[in-house]
């Protein structure tokens, strides 16, 4: 195709010309040369060059108009080398009026680029990853205008898709270009929820694929975009406004969303991208790519958080564009979810039957997202740094939450090995299933009661399958976390009735709302706190908002319908707090009685021991309560002053250490002396070795995630409790810190199955 005269300005006509050039056929290199020529002409630039990243990470000159043609496929730059390398590293444009004077300028004689001063380079972004750099240059010293920068970015995005689609680069050449990571990789992280899984990567923050990048009808695309933005804005407005005055801790987050959604700059960038000839979806992806590349460089955690908000907003907008604003994501059959981090409610949005595993770049073992993963029996490995850069949507991946590793694009022999291990795991599960109806007695005849932690309606369905003897902890806040607005009395009553009915004769302990901390709700009013774990959470919030707590207690009383009711309060720190909370229960019972409602046949009100202060006031506390349950997740967080949600510190201290076990022994001894029933319901109760230590210390009620019941029962059945007690008590007299290996040795010596 001949290019005559100066091309019309603007990316729209430029994109049309590129399309025409491509339609002319011919060898790939000739088409690529034609494309850079059209860009140079259209932008009135003397030079236009395209560099692409090789799998070696080097940037190679693939085409140029204006530089020496012999440099094509010969000039290579290391990552970070020269201005081009710098753009690649930063993932954002560089616009310079005098390039040779820039500290990163590196002169390559073979290119003959010395006479050019003005320089504009933009990253060629695909899915937020830079796969190359597109550059224009002029002799004269000048800065390119904002419009020109914008135009070149749009062209770079279209080029990225064309390169990936094989339209511009020879198939043989394309193999060497790193469009996406393709080598097998193994990443080491931490296991947060046990198990093994093999499946297909699904990016939690994935863009909806835009089928078509270039539009034929800009007006129609603009209309579609406007409608989608309008729908998104009003959805967010409703989320924020319809809160009946109860607006919440993540209010600020939502407010930021709303700010972004109404943001003129964002809207304008989208509109301009559409006007330039992109489809609305492509426009969203382009603006997203740019934000992502820019913000992911930010060191400031606040800014990086904003990236998370923006990602979500973009996903929502794409869903509106596809005409499905509120629809949940469709998962492939064996889905492995890939995310930076997950909020407590995020996992619940996915189809449990298809979600087989989770890999997180960050995360922590006792964060609520991990607890939910364990409750759903989904293996989760976290703390995998660099994960999201290394995995693409659809990649085969393995979650090895036995060793705490992730395999990306594994080789066939690795897949075979993992499948064999999955098989062994299934066989062990069958063995646990056979133990289901065997009561958990130790070899020396002590009965250990194994209970299940729950929080979702689906948990009730599996209660009887696990062989647990009841629910030792029902986390009522899960219902609140998945709701769009505060669940009403009827909804709460319905859930609790379902749980009590489903449990049949088995006891259920309801824990009143434990919100705040890492469990923030969009509709509950709270200020942003510097230390949410030490802040306004759990019973503190309930006592300050008695209407909320009383509503819940009322729902529990109604649901019990004259049957037994067991309730406990989380994070009670002083005996006065317990007294006040207990008075609310009594008040509600009286209120129900006055209205002729049936009151519980038996009422047991207990407390969770999670705040260390309470351990030093057990003498006063135990005479006031019907039972206690030790929440070791929080108790240890406060004991070791280590945020349970922060992976840097949460795995630093061992629950099987002298201070931790001494505290547990203090609690057990005091409860035994006063005759107060006590259980442990933190995550440690569900791990065989930890459970071994707890039973040795005298605990005989353990409440755990469903997947823990089988392994812990097998441990109990093999245990001589008296011998274990002597061994652990002896260890606690020593000066050792972590006793994990000593306890493990002891368990092996006693032939305990752990």
The residue among 449 and 453 lying less far from Mg ion, judged by its C-beta, is: 453
682 binds, among Mg ion, ligand PEP, none (CB under 5 to 8 A by kind): ligand PEP
The residue among 113 and 610 lying less far from ligand PEP, judged by its C-beta, is: 610
The residue among 293 and 702 lying less far from ligand PEP, judged by its C-beta, is: 702
Residues 596-615 that bind Mg ion (CB under 5 A): 610
d(CA 214, CA 282): 8
> Looking up tokens 């801790």, which residue turns up?
249
The residue among 138 and 367 lying less far from Mg ion, judged by its C-beta, is: 367
467 by Cβ neighbours in 10 Å (0-12 / 13-18 / 19+) ranks as buried
177 binds, among Mg ion, ligand PEP, none (CB under 5 to 8 A by kind): none
Phi, psi of 199 (to 5 degrees): -170, -155
681 part of the active site: yes
Question: Do strands 380-382 and 59-65 pair parallel, antiparallel, or not at all (unpaired)?
Answer: unpaired
Task: State which of residues 215, 289, 632, 707 lies at the interface with ligand PEP (CB under 6 A).
Answer: 632
Task: State which of residues 290, 518, 634, 643 lies at the interface with ligand PEP (CB under 6 A).
Answer: 634
Contacts within 8 Å (CB) and 24+ apart, 727-730: 727/696, 728/661, 728/693, 728/696, 728/697, 729/665, 729/696, 729/697
- Residue 529 CB, shortest distance to ligand PEP, in Å, is 17
The residue among 631 and 710 lying less far from Mg ion, judged by its C-beta, is: 631
- Our finding on whether 66 is near ligand PEP (CB under 6 A) is no
- Residue 665 CB, shortest distance to ligand PEP, in Å, is 17
- Our finding on whether 633 is near ligand PEP (CB under 6 A) is yes
d(CA 743, CA 749): 10
- Residue 682 CB, shortest distance to Mg ion, in Å, is 7
Count of residues that interact with Mg ion, criterion CB under 5 A: 3
- Our finding on whether 475 is near ligand PEP (CB under 6 A) is yes
Cβ contacts of 494 within 8 Å, gap of 6 or more: 559
151 binds, among Mg ion, ligand PEP, none (CB under 5 to 8 A by kind): none
Phi, psi of 606 (to 5 degrees): -125, -175
Return the ∠ at Cα 374 (arms to 371 and 378), rounded to 5°. 130
Give the range of 286-294, 310-318, 399-407, 626-634 binding ligand PEP by CB under 6 A: 626-634
The residue among 50 and 635 lying less far from ligand PEP, judged by its C-beta, is: 635
d(CA 18, CA 11): 10
Residues 349-378 that bind ligand PEP (CB under 6 A): 371
Cβ contacts of 313 within 8 Å, gap of 6 or more: 232, 257, 260, 261
- Residue 511 CB, shortest distance to ligand PEP, in Å, is 7
Give the range of 109-117, 274-282, 386-394, 629-637 binding ligand PEP by CB under 6 A: 629-637
Residues 657-686 that bind ligand PEP (CB under 6 A): 681-682
Count of residues that interact with ligand PEP, criterion CB under 6 A: 11
SS3 161: helix
Q: Kindly name the residue from 204, 291, 320, 368 that is annotated as catalytic.
A: 368
The residue among 274 and 681 lying less far from ligand PEP, judged by its C-beta, is: 681
Task: State which of residues 221, 469, 634, 643 lies at the interface with Mg ion (CB under 5 A).
Answer: 634
- Our finding on whether 514 is near ligand PEP (CB under 6 A) is yes
- Residue 461 CB, shortest distance to Mg ion, in Å, is 25
Return the ∠ at Cα 456 (arms to 454 and 461), rounded to 5°. 80
- Cα distance from N-terminal residue to C-terminal residue, the chain: 74
48 part of the active site: no
The residue among 291 and 368 lying less far from Mg ion, judged by its C-beta, is: 368
Residues 372-401 that bind Mg ion (CB under 5 A): none
687 binds, among ligand PEP, Mg ion, none (CB under 5 to 8 A by kind): none
Cβ contacts of 724 within 8 Å, gap of 6 or more: 692, 695, 696, 746, 747, 750, 752
Question: CB nearest ligand PEP: which residue?
Answer: 631
d(CA 166, CA 182): 17
- Residue 558 CB, shortest distance to ligand PEP, in Å, is 24
d(CA 264, CA 348): 33
Give the range of 194-202, 299-307, 362-370, 626-634 binding Mg ion by CB under 5 A: 626-634
- Residue 632 CB, shortest distance to ligand PEP, in Å, is 5
Please answer whether residues 52 and 177 qualify as being in contact, where contact means their C-beta atoms are separated by less than 8 angstroms.
yes
- Residue whose C-alpha is closest to residue 134's, from 27, 215, 268, 42: 42
Task: State which of residues 199, 363, 470, 631 lies at the interface with Mg ion (CB under 5 A).
Answer: 631
d(CA 754, CA 732): 20
- Residue whose C-alpha is closest to residue 713's, from 448, 515, 528, 337: 448
705 binds, among Mg ion, ligand PEP, none (CB under 5 to 8 A by kind): none
Q: Kindly name the residue from 291, 320, 671, 681 that is annotated as catalytic.
A: 681
Give the range of 315-323, 407-415, 498-506, 628-636 binding ligand PEP by CB under 6 A: 628-636
The residue among 519 and 554 lying less far from ligand PEP, judged by its C-beta, is: 519
> Looking up tokens 């003005």, which residue turns up?
118
The side-by-side arrangement of strands in the sheet containing 76-77 is: 76-77, 59-65, 47-53, 129-138, 118-126, 94-96
- Residue whose C-alpha is closest to residue 120's, from 40, 15, 10: 40
Binding string, residues 562-601; x marks residues near Mg ion by CB under 5 A: ----------------------------------------
d(CA 720, CA 725): 9
Task: State which of residues 610, 643, 690, 700 lies at the interface with ligand PEP (CB under 6 A).
Answer: 610
The residue among 15 and 608 lying less far from Mg ion, judged by its C-beta, is: 608
Return the beta strands (E) in 366-441 as ranges: 380-382, 396-400, 405-408
- Residue 305 CB, shortest distance to ligand PEP, in Å, is 23
- Residue 618 CB, shortest distance to Mg ion, in Å, is 18
- Residue 536 CB, shortest distance to Mg ion, in Å, is 15
The residue among 307 and 681 lying less far from ligand PEP, judged by its C-beta, is: 681
SS3 content of the chain, % helix, strand, coil (to 5): 45, 15, 35
The residue among 204 and 374 lying less far from Mg ion, judged by its C-beta, is: 374
- Our finding on whether 752 is near ligand PEP (CB under 6 A) is no
The side-by-side arrangement of strands in the sheet containing 196-203 is: 185-188, 405-408, 396-400, 196-203, 335-339, 355-360, 380-382, 190-193
Task: State which of residues 631, 647, 698, 705 lies at the interface with ligand PEP (CB under 6 A).
Answer: 631
- Residue 377 CB, shortest distance to ligand PEP, in Å, is 17
Where does residue 410 fall: left (phi above 0), alpha (psi -120 to 50 degrees), or beta otherwise? beta
Give the range of 178-186, 425-433, 555-563, 627-635 binding ligand PEP by CB under 6 A: 627-635
Please answer whether residues 393 and 207 qualify as being in contact, where contact means their C-beta atoms are separated by less than 8 angstroms.
no
d(CA 339, CA 542): 32
d(CA 98, CA 142): 7
Interface residue list for ligand PEP (CB under 6 A) = 371, 473, 475, 514, 610, 631-634, 681-682
Interface residue list for Mg ion (CB under 5 A) = 610, 631, 634
Catalytic residues: 368, 681
């Amino acid at each position: 195709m001949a290019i005559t005269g100066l091309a019309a300005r603007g990316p729209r006509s430029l994109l049309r010309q590129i399309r025409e050039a491509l339609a002319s056929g011919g060898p790939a290199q000739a088409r690529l040369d034609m494309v850079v020529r059209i860009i140079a002409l259209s932008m009135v630039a003397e030079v236009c060059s395209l560099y692409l990243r090789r799998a070696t990470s080097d940037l190679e000159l693939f085409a140029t108009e204006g530089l020496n043609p012999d440099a094509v496929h010969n000039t290579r730059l290391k990552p970070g080398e020269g201005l081009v390398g710098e753009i690649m590293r930063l993932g954002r444009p560089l616009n310079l009026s005098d390039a040779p004077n820039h500290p990163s300028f590196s002169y390559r004689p073979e290119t003959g680029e010395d006479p050019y001063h003005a320089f504009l380079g933009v990253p060629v972004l695909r899915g937020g990853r830079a796969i190359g750099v597109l550059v224009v240059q002029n002799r004269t010293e000048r800065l390119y205008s904002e419009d020109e920068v914008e135009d070149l970015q749009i062209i770079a995005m279209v080029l990225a898709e064309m390169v990936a689609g094989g339209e511009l680069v020879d198939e043989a050449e394309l193999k060497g270009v790193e469009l996406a990571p393709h080598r097998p990789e193994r990443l080491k992280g931490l296991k947060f929820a046990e198990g093994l899984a093999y499946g297909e990567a699904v990016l939690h923050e994935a863009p909806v694929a835009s089928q078509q990048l270039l539009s034929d009808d800009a007006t129609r695309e603009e209309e579609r975009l406007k409608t989608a933005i309008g729908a998104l804005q009003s959805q967010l407005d409703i989320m924020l406004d319809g809160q009946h005055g109860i607006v919440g801790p993540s209010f600020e987050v939502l407010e930021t969303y709303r700010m972004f959604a109404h943001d003129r700059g964002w809207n304008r960038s989208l509109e301009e991208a559409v006007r330039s000839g992109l489809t609305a979806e492509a426009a969203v992806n382009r603006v997203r790519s740019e934000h992502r590349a820019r913000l992911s460089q930010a060191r400031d955690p606040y800014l990086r958080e904003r990236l998370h908000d923006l990602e979500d907003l973009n996903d929502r907008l794409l869903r509106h564009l596809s005409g499905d604003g509120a629809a949940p994501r469709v998962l492939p059959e064996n889905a492995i979810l890939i995310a930076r981090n997950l909020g407590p409610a995020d996992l619940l949005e996915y189809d449990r039957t298809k979600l087989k595993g989770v890999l997180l770049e960050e995360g922590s073992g006792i964060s609520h997202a991990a607890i939910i993963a364990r409750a759903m029996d989904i293996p989760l490995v976290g703390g995998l740094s660099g994960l999201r850069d290394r995995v693409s949507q659809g990649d085969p991946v393995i979650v090895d939450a036995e060793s705490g590793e992730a395999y990306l694009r594994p080789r066939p022999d690795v897949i075979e090995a993992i499948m064999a291990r999955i098989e062994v795991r299934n066989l062990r599960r069958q063995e646990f299933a056979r133990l289901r109806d065997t009561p958990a007695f130790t070899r020396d005849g002590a009965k250990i009661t194994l209970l299940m932690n729950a929080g979702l309606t689906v948990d009730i369905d599996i209660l009887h399958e696990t062989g647990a003897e009841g629910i030792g902890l029902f986390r009522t806040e899960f219902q609140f976390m998945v709701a769009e607005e505060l669940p009403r009395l009827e909804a709460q009553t319905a859930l609790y009735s379902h749980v009590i009915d489903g449990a049949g004769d088995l006891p259920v302990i309801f824990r009143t709302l434990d919100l705040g901390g890492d469990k923030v709700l969009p509709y509950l009013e709270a200020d942003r706190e510097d230390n949410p774990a030490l802040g306004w959470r759990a019973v503190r919030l309930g006592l300050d908002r008695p209407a909320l707590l009383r509503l819940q207690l009322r729902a529990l009383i109604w649901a019990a319908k004259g049957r037994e009711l067991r309730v406990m309060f989380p994070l009670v720190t002083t005996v006065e707090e317990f007294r006040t909370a207990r008075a609310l229960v009594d008040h509600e019972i009286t209120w129900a009685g006055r209205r002729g409602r049936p009151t519980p046949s038996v009422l047991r009100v207990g407390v969770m021991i999670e705040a260390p202060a309470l351990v030093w006031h057990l003498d006063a506390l135990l005479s006031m309560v019907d039972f206690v349950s030790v929440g070791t997740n929080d108790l240890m967080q406060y004991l070791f002053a280590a945020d349970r949600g922060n992976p840097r510190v949460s795995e630093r201290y061992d629950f099987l250490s002298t201070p931790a076990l001494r505290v547990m022994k203090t609690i057990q001894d005091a409860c035994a002396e006063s005759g107060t029933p006590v259980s442990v319901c933190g995550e440690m109760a569900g791990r065989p070795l930890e459970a071994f230590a707890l039973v040795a210390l005298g605990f005989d009620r353990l409440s755990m995630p469903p997947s823990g019941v089988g392994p812990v029962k097998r441990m109990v059945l093999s245990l001589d409790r008296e011998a274990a007690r002597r061994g652990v008590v002896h260890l606690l007299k020593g000066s050792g810190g972590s006793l994990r290996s000593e306890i493990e040795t002891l368990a092996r010596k006693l032939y305990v199955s752990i």
